[in-house]
């Protein structure tokens, strides 16, 4: 795999990315919490774009992958700024935003900030407002006290031997970027892809987003047996077909 290029944002962060030139609308992949642009879905989407001659962009948020910064210093607001910066600087014309897990929330924030640049949005196990509704809501009183007093709390992870360290900054900043508590206008096609066996972001989250978002063309596809990774050959084929259907 080739070395990434870097974009320096006005906040001084160096954002690693891979970009393909091609026809429009382009596709931008927004990854999940603690993930990076070398994952299965990101690589699949690049191959999909290469076969069709489509413009494509994948990148690492600050504190993720090859980008600058420490993960524990970051928060939803920073990562949304990173996404908007790469869309502004590295893409032209209409884009299809494909957001996975936390990337679904970031895609919604980017689309809200730049609606004129969005041709369509695809959420894969999208996790809007997860810092509040997933993390904070599940903490015990002792965990909440520890978070507020020491600035972090450690949580076990299904994806790593190391625990997830959840910072007070992540929780408090997340409250400034919630999208399910106020009108959410999405004036373009929206597709939500969700696995029925997703234990990280359950189908109820997708249904809540489905009911809440205001889009002229919004569809939710629930895949029986699929988990949060949504990376099986069948799930990737569905993702590709969804892009073919709405991507121009």
Q: Is the dihedral of CA 177, 180, 183, 187 positive or negative?
A: positive
Contacts of 12 (CB under 8 A, 6+ apart): none
Domain borders along the chain are 5-129+183-246
Tell me the per-residue pLDDT of 146-172, one tens digit each, with 9 for 90 and over. Answer: 999 999 999 887 777 888 899 999 999
Query: Which listed residue (35, 62, 100, 101) is catalytic?
Result: 101
Contacts of 172 (CB under 8 A, 6+ apart): none
List 129, 173, 198, 200, catalytic entry: 198
Question: Is 154 a catalytic site residue?
Answer: no
Among 241, 139, 247, smallest CA distance to 193 is for: 241
Note the pLDDT of residue 155: 87
> Using one digit for the tens of pLDDT, what is the confidence trace for 77-92?
999 999 999 999 999 9
SS3 101: coil
Q: Is residue 225 very low, low, confident or very high in pLDDT (cuts 50, 70, 90)?
A: very high
Per-residue pLDDT tens digits for 16-73: 999 999 999 999 999 999 999 999 999 999 999 999 999 999 999 999 999 999 999 9
Contacts of 105 (CB under 8 A, 6+ apart): 76, 99, 126, 127, 128, 129, 130, 177, 179
- DSSP SS3 for 65: coil
150: left (phi over 0), alpha (psi -120 to 50) or beta: alpha
Nearest to 88 by CA among 123, 53, 113, 54: 113
Look up residue 213 and give its two tokens.
């978002």
Query: Closest Cα partner for 177 from 36, 34, 74?
Result: 74
The beta-strand segments (E) located in the chain are 5-8, 14-20, 23-30, 54-59, 95-100, 118-124, 152-155, 164-167, 184-185, 190-195, 213-214, 218-223
| 138 assigned to active site | no
In this structure, are residues 62 and 69 in contact, taking their beta carbons and an 8 Å threshold?
yes
The answer to whether 231 is a known catalytic residue is no
Distances, alpha carbon 146 to alpha carbons 139, 143, 155, 236, in Å = 10, 5, 12, 40
Q: Which two tokens stand for residue 181?
A: 């508590």
Question: pLDDT tens digit string along 4-17?
Answer: 999 999 999 999 99
Residue 247 in this model has a pLDDT that exceeds 80? no
Q: Which of 160 and 221 is assigned the larger pLDDT?
A: 221
Q: 5-129+183-246: what CATH class?
A: alpha beta
Contacts of residues 210-213 at CB distance under 8 Å and 24 or more positions apart, as own/partner, are 212/180, 212/184, 213/108, 213/184, 213/186
Average pLDDT over residues 103-130: 98
């Amino acid at each position: 795999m080739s070395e990434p290029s870097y974009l320096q944002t006005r906040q001084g962060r160096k954002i690693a990315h891979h970009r393909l030139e091609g026809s429009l609308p382009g596709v931008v992949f927004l990854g999940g919490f603690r993930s990076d642009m070398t994952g299965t879905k990101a690589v699949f989407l690049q191959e999909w774009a290469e076969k069709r001659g489509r413009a494509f962009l994948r990148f690492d948020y600050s504190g993720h992958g090859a980008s600058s910064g420490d993960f524990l210093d970051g928060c939803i607001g920073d990562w949304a700024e990173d996404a908007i910066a790469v869309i502004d600087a590295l893409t032209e014309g209409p884009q299809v935003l494909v957001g996975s897990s936390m990337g679904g929330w970031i895609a919604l924030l980017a689309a809200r900030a730049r609606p004129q640049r969005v041709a369509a949005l695809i959420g894969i196990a999208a996790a809007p407002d997860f810092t509040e509704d997933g993390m904070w809501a599940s903490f015990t009183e002792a965990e909440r006290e520890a978070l507020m007093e020491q600035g972090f709390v450690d949580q076990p992870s299904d994806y790593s031997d190391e625990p997830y360290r959840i910072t007070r900054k992540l929780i408090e900043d997340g409250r400034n970027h919630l999208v399910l508590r106020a009108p959410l206008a999405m004036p373009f096609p929206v597709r939500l892809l969700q696995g029925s066996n997703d234990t990280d972001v359950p189908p109820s989250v997708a249904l809540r987003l489905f009911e809440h978002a205001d889009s002229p063309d919004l569809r939710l596809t629930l895949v029986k047996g699929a988990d949060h990774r949504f990376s099986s050959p069948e799930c990737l084929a569905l993702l590709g077909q969804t892009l073919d259907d709405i991507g121009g």
